[in-house]
Amino acid sequence: MASRRKGRILAFQVLYSYEAAPAAALEELLSFSWLEADKQAALDEGTAMFSRLLIQGTIENLPAVDDMIRSHLKNWDFSRLNRVDLALLRMSAYTLMYQHDMAPSIVIDEAIGISREYGTGDSYRFINGVLDSINRALRGPQTSQEPEIPQETP
């Protein structure tokens, strides 16, 4: 498993926990003290830093991130989102909104992969739809399609 994937999973786990107990100290969440000792020892600094960036950025921008998610829910109430989907949507929407150096297709693919592992049977479809809608709103409709390859004329 790639280091960025591990970082995203850690960030997702923290954001999931944060939703359950928003009063938790950010420093405690970012220290990963909740991880089992062997997993904490095996955590490389690059993965931890990437995860901290996602966690802190998402929490610091939570009102804007939640507003973005709300505006792209179709026939669904924000308060009814399950915590797995909400944590993944928050982390990924934050990345799409603020981390322009990351390819949107990778952000969305990673969220879908994590939702297949941790979400319900249809979570990945829901996550894909919402994130694709957010991405199109931020970057325009052309980003959700394959780039056109010009045809040579004889």
For 43-62, what is the mean pLDDT?
91
With tokens 């879908």, the residue in question is 112
With tokens 């107990």, the residue in question is 21
Pairwise pLDDT comparison (141 vs 71), residue with the higher score: 71
Handedness of CA 122, 135, 59, 99 (dihedral sign): positive
Whole-structure pTM value? 0.84
**Residue positions counted in the chain:** 154
Whether residue 83 contacts residue 120, with contact meaning beta carbons closer than 8 Å, is answered with no
For 50-56, what is the mean pLDDT?
93
- Residues 135 and 97: their CA atoms lie apart, in Å, by 8
Predicted pLDDT of residue 20: 77
State which fold the 3-141 domain adopts: N-utilizing Substance Protein B Homolog; Chain A (1.10.940)
CA distances from 96 to 11, 102, 118 (A): 15, 8, 21
